[in-house]
Amino acid sequence: MRCGLLGQTLAHSHSPLLHSLLGDYAYTLFEKAPDQVEDFLKSGSWDGLNVTIPYKKTAYALCDSLSPIARETGNVNTLLRRRDGSIFGDNTDAFGFRYLLEKAGVPVAGKRALVLGAGGAGGTACAVLRQMGAAVTVLSRTEKPDDFYGKNNGILYSTFRHISQYKDAQIIVNATPVGMYPRVDEQPVDLSRFSRLEGVADVIYRPCPTRLLRAAAARGVPGAGGLWML
């Protein structure tokens, strides 16, 4: 088995260590530029891959078949090359994110959730939150993409400049890389804006906890970080 992690910047990754302890196969970090990804997925020497920032949607579009949850989230984080050479894509992040929410100890059903980030992690968070009964709004740093995963499933979309319209959010999920190592002193939003806040989830696992989660704890708001999702 030739396995590994596909991403753009991977120096922070703990995946090789984890796989060396849990598996009996080679596990390599594959740092690729955007213009290298398609050729690597189609012709590279690999049997199974994990996929991370910023290629979860790119990989999704290159899969020959997909799991149901991958179709719902619009991205993949796990790839398998089948015997016939075709690529199967799955999203195991969804299970991990649900577990993260459970560890946060915050009821989700009926809550207003604000997801920060419209990338792969954001798509996964939206799908899981909706499955658990939350009303979801996504905030992105850019204008709405044409292939936005929420266009047909009731998820609202806005940009960070309109954040004041969503100060009644009860759950905040950081699905951006803001606050990730090495820029550990950053946080994506000021939590003092949200007077009804009941819980915070951050998909970042390094550092643990992030500055956002420390800010939540200082306000007495429960939260959980990306280590549970990992």
Instruction: Indicate which residue of 32, 56, 57, 111 is catalytic.
Output: 56
Give the confidence band of 153 by pLDDT, cuts at 50, 70, 90.
Answer: low
Both tokens assigned to 198 = 């009941």
Averaged pLDDT, 2-27: 92
Both tokens assigned to 5 = 């992690």
The pLDDT score that the predictor gives to residue 149 is 47
Give the confidence band of 8 by pLDDT, cuts at 50, 70, 90.
Answer: very high
The pLDDT score that the predictor gives to residue 208 is 92
CA separation for the pair 168, 40 (Å, rounded): 44
The pLDDT score that the predictor gives to residue 143 is 60
The pLDDT score that the predictor gives to residue 150 is 44
Q: In the annotation, is 56 catalytic?
A: yes
The pLDDT score that the predictor gives to residue 151 is 47
* Cβ contact 230:206 at 8 Å: no
Angle at the Cα of 120 (from 68 to 102), degrees rounded to 5?
75
Q: What's the number of CA atoms in the CB half-sphere (13 Å) around residue 193?
A: 15
CA separation for the pair 129, 192 (Å, rounded): 23
Residue with the bigger pLDDT between 189 and 120: it is 189
pTM greater than 0.95 (yes/no):
no
pLDDT at residue 129 is higher than 50: yes
Both tokens assigned to 6 = 């596909």
Average per-residue pLDDT in the chain?
Answer: 92
